[in-house]
Structure 1
Amino acid sequence: MWRYYIKICRKLHYFVIRAAPRLRAILVRSILGVNATAIGEKTKFRGLEFIHLGHNFRIGDFCWIEAITEYADQHYSPKLSIGNDVCVSDLTHISCLEYIEIGDGCLLGSKIYIGDHSHGPTHNLNSDDLSTYPSRRPLANPSAIHIGAGCWLGDGVVILGGTRLAAGCIVGANSVVRLICDRPAVVAGVPATIIRYLD
């Protein structure tokens, strides 16, 4: 008898685990209008009016997608565009101050950071800049990011402002990317370089 109950409990647990992201997506879509088919646990969106999500968007657990409209008494007009059929894994942070575009069909691994700005200037620093904590510095150095359709970003990738990746690029795990790549290529390293072209 106990085996029967344990079997039912396991099936019910499996169903809840599998259904939860879809149920969250339905709830969020009906309340906030977020166009997603699966939303992971503890995932948050900020600045939704400045974020465009394509159809069949799927996102994992503990992610943070933000379009920054205000920071330290400064106001911004960001544009974050994510295409159709984009899949984002767990623990990913996308932070947009100016412009970030992620094309259709991209696959983003886990623990990825994509940000088009920095906390304070990174060139010509003076003693005042260094004596101010980074969290209190104004956001600076905005530079657009374009990630073409069908790109695959491995786990732990960091994409910095000014990056442009052609459709079909593959970025190796744990790479730090700030480059322009106008042809499909394998990109990897710290800092990332073009390893080989795919076309």
Structure 2
Amino acid sequence: MRFYGGRLRTVLYSRLVFGRWDINVDPDARVNGTEYMEIGRHFRAGRGLWLEAIDQYGEGGTAQRFTPRLVIGDNVSLSEYVHIGCVHHIEIGNDVLMGSKIYITDHNHGVYRGAHPDSPDVPPTQRPLTEGESIIIEDNVWIGEFCTILPGVTIGYGSIIGSHTTVTHDIPPKSIAVGSPAKVIKQWDEEKGAWVAAGHR
């Protein structure tokens, strides 16, 4: 009975938040900014989901305002405690699978490169959010547990991101990447029908 009660709560919560019956999200999720989200068919997410499309940061005349766009394709499945934060544009393709405890963000608290970085004397919560960078995760991507996907990257079709990986740059299609920062270690060889070491195709 407990199983069926939990299942009913999940269905009703998903209907209440997203207005749909084909979405399956645990009731303890934190979902903000659904008006900026486009979610495909059969979206599933485990406990602890934090899905946010942020249209304002700060208060009063100094508040930053954004028009985020968070797109999730069909048949996307997220495990537990996935956090996706969007102020500009994050797009997740069809048939994407994610493990647990993954963080995906298209912004940072403050700028730390270039001619005008933010000072460490300013509290992090008072530093402006960066904006203008996108994240694209193409179809058939698998992202392992404890991964971080940072602003301005594309993960190509069919790629695999190993657990505990930090993605700071583009990953080509049909690649396996691991490490922090991510490094491509294997790529799919169409002729051989096998994964081969990067640079040995």
TM-score band w.r.t. shorter chain? 0.7 to 0.9
Q: 1:127 to 1:149 in 2, by over 3 A?
A: closer
Q: 1:121 to 1:53 in 2, by over 3 A?
A: same
**Count of residue pairs the alignment pairs up:** 185
Q: Assess if the C-alpha contact under 8 Å between 1:58 and 1:88 holds in 2.
A: yes
| Alignment correspondent of 2:129 | 139
| Alignment correspondent of 1:9 | none
Task: Using structure 1 for the length normalisation, give the TM-score.
Answer: 0.86
Q: Assess if the C-alpha contact under 8 Å between 1:91 and 1:112 holds in 2.
A: yes
Match of 1:68 among 50, 54, 73: 54
More helix by share: 1
Q: 1:91 to 1:128 in 2, by over 3 A?
A: closer
Whole-angstrom distance in 2 between the partners of 1:154 and 1:19: 29
Once the two structures are TM-superposed, the CA of residue 127 in structure 1 deviates from its matched residue by 8.9
Q: Secondary structure at the match of 1:164?
A: strand
Whole-angstrom distance in 2 between the partners of 1:25 and 1:169: 29
| Alignment correspondent of 1:196 | 186
Once the two structures are TM-superposed, the CA of residue 183 in structure 1 deviates from its matched residue by 2.0
Q: Which moved more, 1:103-112 or 1:179-188?
A: 179-188
Task: Using structure 2 for the length normalisation, give the TM-score.
Answer: 0.85
- Aligned-residue identity in percent: 34
Q: Secondary structure at the match of 1:118?
A: coil
Gaps of 5+ in 1: 1-11
Q: Secondary structure at the match of 2:119?
A: helix
Q: Assess if the C-alpha contact under 8 Å between 2:14 and 2:27 holds in 1.
A: no
Q: RMSD between aligned alpha carbons?
A: 1.9
Q: Which moved more, 1:71-80 or 1:121-130?
A: 121-130
Gaps of 5+ in 2: 190-201
Whole-angstrom distance in 1 between the partners of 2:86 and 2:106: 6
Q: Secondary structure at the match of 2:149?
A: strand
One-letter amino acid matched to 2:11: R
Q: Deviations over 1:23-67 (max 9, x none)?
A: 3223334xxx35742111310211111111001111111111111
Q: Assess if the C-alpha contact under 8 Å between 1:86 and 1:106 holds in 2.
A: yes
Q: Is 1:150 equivalent to 2:150 in the alignment?
A: no
| Alignment correspondent of 1:115 | 105
